[in-house]
């Protein structure tokens, strides 16, 4: 018998990972078009996008389960991390291509204004975004799972 994670979790995380990559790309391009790409406080919206799609994946997985249960913590955590990995990896690849081929002037601007090292390449910049995205997804996945779990019921017993 196939586990619920294999039956539902892989496709849910793949779909939500693709949505995550699309939303991050659209948000980045919108911020770039509005001239707000250097405003670091707007990175909060990247976190919100990540949290919403992780939560969407968890709720979607729980709705597919046949029994009234949530799925194990590790299944939910794997779905969350796989969603984040797919989305952040695809966005990082897009970012490397964007900085190298589409807008090298932006890469030059990053090197001059914000880079701690003068030899930062588009691949290094995308790698930093990838590591940051996966690091935050480790924390956000745990928090979202805890936030979405159902409350437990305590049975009161009579003392003799």
Say if CB 65 and CB 150 are below 8 A apart.
no
Question: What number is the average pLDDT over the span 91-103?
Answer: 95
- Pick from 31-40, 46-55, 64-73: least confident: 64-73
d(CA 136, CA 52): 13
d(CA 153, CA 121): 54
CA distances to 12, 27, 73, 82, 106 from 37, in Å? 31, 10, 36, 27, 9
Q: What is the pLDDT of residues 121-155, one digit of tens each?
A: 899 989 999 999 999 999 999 999 999 887 665 66
C-alpha closest to that of 71 among 82, 60, 83: 60
Q: Give the pLDDT confidence score for residue 3 in this predicted structure.
A: 82
d(CA 112, CA 27): 24
Report CA Rg, the chain: 20
């Amino acid at each position: 018998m196939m586990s619920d994670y294999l039956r539902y979790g892989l496709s849910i995380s793949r779909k939500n990972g693709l949505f995550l990559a699309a939303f991050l790309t659209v948000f980045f391009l919108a911020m770039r078009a509005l001239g707000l790409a250097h405003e670091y406080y707007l990175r909060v919206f990247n976190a919100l996008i990540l949290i919403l799609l992780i939560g969407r994946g968890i709720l979607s997985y729980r709705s597919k389960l046949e029994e009234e249960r949530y799925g194990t913590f590790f299944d939910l955590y794997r779905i969350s991390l796989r969603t984040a990995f797919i989305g952040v990896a695809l966005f990082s690849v897009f970012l490397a291509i964007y900085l190298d081929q589409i807008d090298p002037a932006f890469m030059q601007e990053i090197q001059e204004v914000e880079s701690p090292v003068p030899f930062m390449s588009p691949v290094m910049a995308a790698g930093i975004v990838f590591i940051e995205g996966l690091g935050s997804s480790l924390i956000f996945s745990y928090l979202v799972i805890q936030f979405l779990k159902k409350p437990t019921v305590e049975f009161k017993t009579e003392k003799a």
